[in-house]
Amino acid sequence: MVSVKRSKFFRLFFSYLILGFMMVIIIYPLLWTVGASFNPGNSLVSTSMIPKNPTLDHYRELFAGKQSLQYVQWFKNSIKISIFTMIGTLISVAFTGYAFSRFRFKGRKNGLTLFLLLQMIPQFSALVALFVLAQLLGMMNSHWLLIFLYIGGQIPMNTYLLKGYMDTIPIDLDESAKIDGASNTRIFFQIILPLSKPMLAVVAMNGFTGPLGDFVLSSTILRTPESYTLPIGLYNLVNDVMGASYTTFAAGAILISIPIALLFVLLQKNFVNGLTAGGTKG
């Protein structure tokens, strides 16, 4: 009995030890970034996690300094692109997930395999083709082209997620609704979508956060400072072009997390349920 309790104690101890170690790895860079955003000066060499003389100058510089108009514009551009990408991803993935889950058609298996293969291809391998496409369409420096590309990139993996979740919804519900005279469209909007809210929340979060963190594709398409998104603009803050202001970069990076945090609060219940379902259901 004693050995069983001791074994359980050591399992819990090492579990919490590993969990604590992983939390430190995750939280430490975030805390350092927050501290750097309140440290005076522009260099990270003299900064510390707990600022000795905290200041809001870097936040003021973003909105009232020489970069004020540009930073606000970058923020607006990123939010606009992220919102439209999220909406487009939700609409397209809802239909593709439902089609692959509920219908049996020629090419279904090949389509799922193609989605999986497309997900394995690195994004940068298609940059040349996307650049040429933007030139041919006359859409260089276009946010709308960027939105469509983001939506296309979000479809494969999110379709897999939503299709797997919809597979767990009993087909008996569809059959009962059809007996009552419901069409496939009505079943989709009134039965399947409401029951798929947890996974739709995950898809929405993926669609929103993807563009906010992307640098490679956006820097290929967007060419003028007025059209930049936050990743490109913040990169320039630590580039020699704008004086390598690392602490201002830290302040700008912290502000990026605000829209993500607000969206997470709004979707928290469904988002957590969707992640749990995604980890336990096929």
DSSP 56: -
Statement to judge: residues 179 and 41 lie in one domain: no
Q: Do 214 and 231 contact (CB within 8 A), yes or no?
A: yes
Q: Is the dihedral of CA 98, 163, 167, 278 positive or negative?
A: negative
- In sequence order, which residues have a C-beta less than 8 Å from that of residue 87 and are 6 or more positions away? 207
**What is residue 275's predicted lDDT score, i.e. its pLDDT?**
57
Domain extent, residue 45, equals 1-55
Closest residue by Cα to residue 143 from 74, 55, 50: 74
Neighbours of 69 (CB within 10 A): 11
Query: How many domains, in total, are found in the chain?
Result: 2
**Amino acid, res. 65:** G
Statement to judge: residues 27 and 103 lie in one domain: no
Statement to judge: residues 50 and 93 lie in one domain: no
pLDDT in tens, 59-107: 888 887 565 558 888 999 999 999 999 999 999 999 999 999 888 888 8
Statement to judge: residues 47 and 181 lie in one domain: no
The CATH number for 133's domain is: 1.10.3720.10
Statement to judge: residues 146 and 223 lie in one domain: yes
Instruction: Write down which residue in 55, 73, 91 finishes a domain.
Output: 55
pLDDT in tens, 228-266: 999 998 887 777 544 557 778 888 888 888 888 888 888
Lookup: tokens for 27: 């939280």
Statement to judge: residues 269 and 153 lie in one domain: yes
Statement to judge: residues 34 and 66 lie in one domain: no
Distance CA 74, CA 234 (A): 9
- pTM of the predicted structure, to 2 decimals: 0.83
Statement to judge: residues 75 and 143 lie in one domain: yes
